[in-house]
Amino acid sequence: MITIIPEAPENVAAFNATGEVTKEDFENLVFPRVKAKIEQFGELNYLMYLDTDLNNFTAGAWLEDALLGLKNLTKWNRAAILTDNQHVQNFTEIFSVLMPGEFKSFPKGNLYNALYWCKNGNEVEA
């Protein structure tokens, strides 16, 4: 299931993935929210907090996630993926080189720093 992270800054489409993630989660929640943010701000600042194992994403969910990237290819500004999975963190860093915009992984304990980065393009000073 995907839910909206309510404390996200206005210019960030932020989501929490828990349990099983389906194609309908993307169609009914993610796509409309992303579309609204792009229409409002002209770019996409995106955050996904992965609080579930990647095996819990159905095949349809993976396809919809890929479609989200392709449909909005020129609108990506910043995207943060929060996970403690080292493979996903490495993939995100590699993906950043291939896609327009900035992609960055954060450990799950750094939600507020990731939200700040998505909004502003820099991190909170420690």
Based on DSSP, count helices (H) and strands (E) in the chain, helices before strands.
5, 5
pLDDT digits (tens, 9 = 90+) for 79-100: 999 989 887 777 667 666 667 7
pLDDT digits (tens, 9 = 90+) for 54-80: 777 776 666 566 656 656 667 889 999
Q: Please give the structure tokens belonging to residue 113.
A: 């720093």
Q: According to the model, what pLDDT value does residue 88 have?
A: 72
Mean of the per-residue pLDDT values for the chain?
84
Q: According to the model, what pLDDT value does residue 113 have?
A: 95
